[in-house]
Amino acid sequence: MRSVLIGNGVIIQHGGRDYLNSNIIQRALDNVRTGNFPSHLYPKECADFVIALEKEHAAALNGDYDNYVFTTYDRASLIDFKLRYDSTHKYSATEIGFEDYFLLFELTHNKLGITNPERFNSRGVLRRMFLDAVFNQGKIESVHKQFSAGFVKWLQNHKHIFTTNYDSNLDIATGLRVHHLHGSFNTLNEVYDPKSFRNQLEDDLLNGEKVDLDHLHLYSTCLVSYVGDLKSYSMRQSSLANRAMDKFVDGYQSNPDLRKQIEDWDESNNLVRRLKESIRLKAERPELEHSEQYPHEMLKTISGNLEIVGLSPNNDSHLFKKILENRNITQIVFHYLGDQEATDAKRLFSSKNLSIRDVRDFWADVNT
């Protein structure tokens, strides 16, 4: 069985420099400065915020934020962050990885003692600004027009197609089901999906917020995070919630004492009241469940040959961990860009049967 994992390098290969990190950052800033953005969905202050975070980049590299990391994944992320940048170089706003801005966001908010809901809301609008820049007024969804017939045929020869990309170019080009591990511009987040379990509750959990149909990509399932552990947690949330709800409902239906306890819960607490309503609703309508929107568990069940194209071996460790743990993957073919990626891929997949190949040779072959 053949499977393939596709990353942003494929979009850069066919869509050009528009989808490099530096141009995504610059486009985000330019969109705001020229007024070419939906100001009702994220404010112009987001651009100023990026520039403010840029100024903290050197401070984070030099250890000024070492005392403001409060979780193990933050600490690990800061160590990795320092390894990836040269502390003697002054980085411009466009030289900083856009997901690294979210680490800087957390560090500065830790230092300033800013908590939710302000922290949650600020993170959300920053996410929207960057997603809008990636979306590029929808132009990213047309990149598949540059795919060669040979590349499309090569893709179609795989049983499973996985991608970390948000766009639907692979889906359109192949006509096949593509597994979007980090979400998709074309899939509404459960928070905004009127058919979702959470939106069957009586409370309006969106507090009156209306989905703007002209900007559905900003309400999507796309995951943006500075660390794989957070992405991994987000990817597991639905399955964890479903298992927990199944246990509650099973006890509610089979154990009279537990049922009475649940019915006696104090409904003055909104969270408790909503949980009680959810249990009752699930008991009446067992088909309701939280949608599994991130098919990452499939990486643990595939078998045979896995090819990886357009991904750095230094990113997405949460996905590579699942691949490494899957003993049924008998061979990995990693297409690298540059000697350093080749070295890093050999180190990462040292426990696997690995073949490495220069991605430029790959493109030359499939495009002929």
pLDDT tens-digit map of 84-120: 999 999 999 999 999 999 999 999 999 999 999 999 9
SS (HEC) of the chain: CEEEEECHHHHHHHHHHHHCHHHHHHHHHHHHHCCCCCCCCCCCHHHHHHHHHHHHHHHHHCCCCHHHCCCHHHHHHHHHHHHHCCCCCCCCHHHCCCCHHHHHHHHHHHHHCCCCCHHHHHHHHHHHHHHHHHHHHHHHHHHHHHCCHHHHHHHHCCCEEEECCCCCHHHHHHCCCEEECCCCCCCECCCCCCCCCHHHCCCCCCCCCCCCHHHHHHHECCCCCCCHHHHHHHHHHHHHHHHHHHHHHHHHHHCHHHHHHHHCCCCCCHHHHHHHHHHHHHHHCCCCCCCCCCCHHHHHCCCEEEEEECCCCCCCHHHHHHHHHCCCEEEEEEEECCHHHHHHHHHHCCCCCEEEEEHHHHHHHHCC
The average pLDDT across 35-63 equals 97
Phi first, then psi, for residue 338 (nearest 5°) are 95, 155
Look at residue 366 and tell me whether its pLDDT is greater than 70. Answer: yes
d(CA 367, CA 364): 6
The average pLDDT across 142-160 equals 97
Look at residue 73 and tell me whether its pLDDT is greater than 90. Answer: no
pTM (2 d.p.): 0.91
Look at residue 359 and tell me whether its pLDDT is greater than 70. Answer: yes
% of the chain at pLDDT higher than 70: 98
Residue 310 or residue 226, greater confidence? 310
Poorest-confidence range of 58-72, 193-207, 255-269, 335-349?
Answer: 193-207
User: What is the band of 255 on the pLDDT scale with cuts at 50, 70, 90?
Assistant: very high
Q: Which residues contact 68 (CB under 8 A, 6 or more apart)?
A: 107, 110, 111
User: What is the band of 241 on the pLDDT scale with cuts at 50, 70, 90?
Assistant: confident
**Predicted local distance difference test score (pLDDT) of residue 229:** 63
Look at residue 1 and tell me whether its pLDDT is greater than 60. Answer: yes
